[in-house]
Amino acid sequence: MADTTEARRGRGKWDATRLPDQTGRTVVITGANSGIGYAAARALARAGAHVVFAVRDLARGGAAAARAGGSTEVRRLDLADLDSVREFAAGWDRPLDVLINNAGVMMLPEGRTAQGFETQFGTNHLGHFALTGLLLPQVTDRVVTVSSGAHRWGDGVIHFEDVNLRGGYRPTRAYAQSKLANLLFTLELQRRLTEAGSPVRALAAHPGWAATNLQSRTANPFARAFLTVGNRFLAQDDTAGALPTLYAATQDLPGAAYVGPDGPAGLRGAPALAGRSAAASDPVAARRLWTLSEELTGVEWGLTAAAR
């Protein structure tokens, strides 16, 4: 159950030691084998939750789950392949308290998913859009989607006429678009849940600057060098980077809330409600993105979120 008593009393900054008891709860975390996904999975498992590691590599996922301790299981999921998403969802047959859409790729060279979508948009947004839609009938509490302060980068819009960026691909542009899509998805999902009278909440979080293996995979060697130095001297570790996700997953927050570090520029600090760009708060763009995402994934959302 959510518990914000200590936070209300102001007794210091919120951290994982204040995580409420999660016994009896089931949580699915995508990309839980490393980085902030692993840190969140470990904390939730140690707090008593049954945590499902939804990962591409079962061997790596199994090793991570063993390290995490607690009640865990590992299931294969490749968000860059909608067939894998459907297979994962078809195999899910029990209530799910929390779905954490954590997995992501960052500033990669131009590429395509199994269905031909730009890799970052296809993985970070479309894969999670489809997964959430297919699992929603089993979700009982909330959906938490991990975004990024990078949603403000560049032109800061969804390129509706060219979401695959065939007319001008840049790794940072593609990453920013995918992270903006995460926030617009959360906004529209909450609107629809409210309209349907559902008790389920949609929330988003960002880790600030957390040192993970994402930065080592960027396309530009100069960006990799900068991020490597930043990871060493500016970033917080993945345990601290997971705190906004944990806060969003366990605390009594309003639907569509966005959580991030409370320090300067939101780069580090304790979890707190965060600001977002005007583009990330645009309900018209959110609905337009939803419609487009249904068309691209073939997942239509109704009360049963059935796939056509």
Helix pair 171-195, 283-297: axis angle to 10 deg = 100
Nearest to 68 by CA among 214, 205, 242, 207: 242
The residues that bridge with 27 in the sheet, in sequence order, are: 51, 98
Residues 226, 230, 148, 55, CA torsion sign: positive
Q: Are the CB atoms for 30 and 57 separated by under 8 Å?
A: no
- Annotated active-site residue 38? The verdict is no
DSSP H helical segments within 10-57, as ranges? 35-46
Say if residues 44 and 22 touch (Cβ distance below 8 Å): yes
Instruction: Choose, from 38, 169, 175, 247, the residue flagged as catalytic.
Output: 175
Query: Cα 172 from chain centroid?
Result: 18
* Residues tagged active-site: 175
